[in-house]
Amino acid sequence: MKNKKKKGLLILLGVSVVAVIGGTLAYFTTSDSITNNFETALYQHKIVENFESPSDWTPGTTTEKTISVTNEGSIPMALRASYVEKWINGNGEEISLVDENDNRAAIINFNDDWTKNSDGYYYYGSKENLTKLNKDETSSSFINSVTFNENISAKLVKKVSADGKTITYTSSCEGYDNATYVLTITIDTIQYDQATNVW
C-alpha cells in the first residue's frame, strides 16, 4: 500500500511540475500593420511638330520642319534624338541618299542647340553638358527645315518620234523626281539626374 501511495504521490508531483512548466510557457502577443503610400512624381512629355508635307517638292526648295519637346511632368528630363532617312523612287525602290556626284539629295538643317555625338545621337546641349528641361519648359526644335538639294537633276528618258520631229523627255522613275523622301525622327527622354549613368 505504501508503494501505491508513493507512486500516486510521484504521479501527482509529476503532473504538478508539468503544469508549472506549461504555465511558464504562456506569453502575451500582439500584431499591428502600418500602411504607407508612396506617390511618385509625374513623368510626362509632349512632342510638338510643325510640318506640312509638300506634294511638289522641287530642287532648291526648303520645307519647314520643326520638332520639339515640352515637359508636362514634374521631373526634369534630358533629351536626345536620332533619325533615319530614305528615298523611294517612282518604281517603289529605295535609292541612294546621294547622287552620282556625291550630292546629298535632302539636306537636313539642324538646330545649333543639339549636338551630334560620336555615338550617332544628337543631344540637347551636348552629351557632356546636357540641357535640363524643367517642368513646363519646351526645348528648341531638333531641326529647322529640310532642303531639296538644288544640284540634283532628274533622270529622264529621251524619246524621238518616228519622223524625228518631236523629242519628248519623260521620267525614268529611277531618280529623285517623282520620288518620296521619308524622314523618321526618334526622340528619347530620360530623367535628368540619371542621364549621365544611362547615356
Q: In this predicted model, what pLDDT tens digit does every residue of 42-66 receive, in sequence order?
A: 999 999 999 999 999 999 999 999 9
Residue 8 scores a pLDDT above 70: no
CB 94 within 8 A of CB 86: yes
Whether residue 84 is contained in a domain is answered as yes
With cell 533622270, the residue in question is 155
Contact criterion met (CB below 8 Å) for 130 and 122: no
**pLDDT for residue 192:** 97
Nearest to 155 by CA among 60, 89, 61: 89
Total domain count for the chain? 1
Give the domain range for residue 165.
Answer: 45-198
Q: How far is CA 163 from the centre of its chain?
A: 61
- Cell (9 digits) for 119: 555615338
* 162 falls within a domain: yes
- Quick check: is 118 in a domain? yes
User: What's the rounded Cα separation, in Å, for the pair 71 and 77?
Assistant: 8
What number is the average pLDDT over the span 59-84?
98
- Note whether residue 154 is domain-resident: yes
Predicted pLDDT at 154 = 86
Tell me the whole-structure pTM to 2 decimals: 0.78
**18 falls within a domain:** no
Looking at the domain assignment, is residue 38 inside a domain?
no
Domain membership flag for residue 29: no
**CA–CA gap between residue 21 and residue 167 (Å, rounded):** 119
Is the per-residue pLDDT at 17 higher than 70?
Answer: no
pLDDT surpassing 60 at residue 22: no
**Could you tell me the three cell numbers for 9?**
504521490
Give CA–CA dist 102/191, Å, rounded. 40
In a domain, 114, yes or no: yes
Residue 6: is its pLDDT beyond 90? no
**Per-residue b or e along 66-99, where b marks 16 or more CB atoms closer than 10 Å to that residue's CB:** ebbbbbebebebbbbbebeeebebbeeeebeeeb
